[in-house]
Amino acid sequence: MGIAISILKAEHIGIRNLKMNLSKLLKADKPYIVTEHGRPKQIIIPYHEMMELIDIFDELSEPDLLETIREGREAINLAKGNDISASTLWEEMKI
C-alpha cells in the first residue's frame, strides 16, 4: 500500500488512548492520526515511511522534474479542456 493511502486509511486514536498505549502503538509500525476531541491534531508515521516521503519531496523539488510536470499538465489540460489534479496527472503520465 502506498504511503498516502496508508495515511488516509490510518486509524484515529485519541490523545488519552495514545498516552496509555504508546509503546504498543509504536511497535505496530503503522501510521496513526492522533485526535483531540475528535479532531485530527498530529500524524504518527513509521520512520521508514517518513524517509520515503522525504525522498519524494526531494525529487519533486528538482527544477527539471517540476518543468516536466508543468508541461504535462498543460498538455493534458489542452487535450481535455480542463484542470487536472496531480494524482490524475501521475496516472496519465504513468510515473
State which amino acid sits at residue 66.
Answer: L
pLDDT value, residue 72:
83
Hunting for cell 517518513 — which residue is that? 50
pLDDT tens, position by position, 46-80: 999 999 888 888 877 788 888 888 888 888 777 76
CATH number at residue 15: 3.40.1620
Residue 87 has pLDDT above 80, yes or no: no
Length of the chain: 95
pLDDT value, residue 85:
67
Phi-psi region of 38 (alpha: psi -120 to 50; beta: other; left: phi over 0): left
State which amino acid sits at residue 68.
Answer: T
On whether residue 26 sits in a domain, the answer given is yes
- Pairwise CA distance, residues 54 & 58, whole Å: 6
State whether 37 and 67 are in the same domain. no
What pLDDT band is residue 12 in, cutting at 50, 70 and 90?
very high
State whether 9 and 38 are in the same domain. yes
The grid coordinates listed for 24 are 504498543
On whether residue 55 sits in a domain, the answer given is no
Hunting for cell 496509555 — which residue is that? 20
State whether 11 and 39 are in the same domain. yes
Domain hosting residue 15, numbered range: 3-45
Q: Looking at the 3D structure of the chain, how many domains does it have?
A: 2
What pLDDT band is residue 84 in, cutting at 50, 70 and 90?
low
The arithmetic mean of pLDDT across residues 21-32, rounded, is: 93
pLDDT value, residue 62:
82
Residue 41 near residue 35 (C-beta atoms within 8 A):
yes
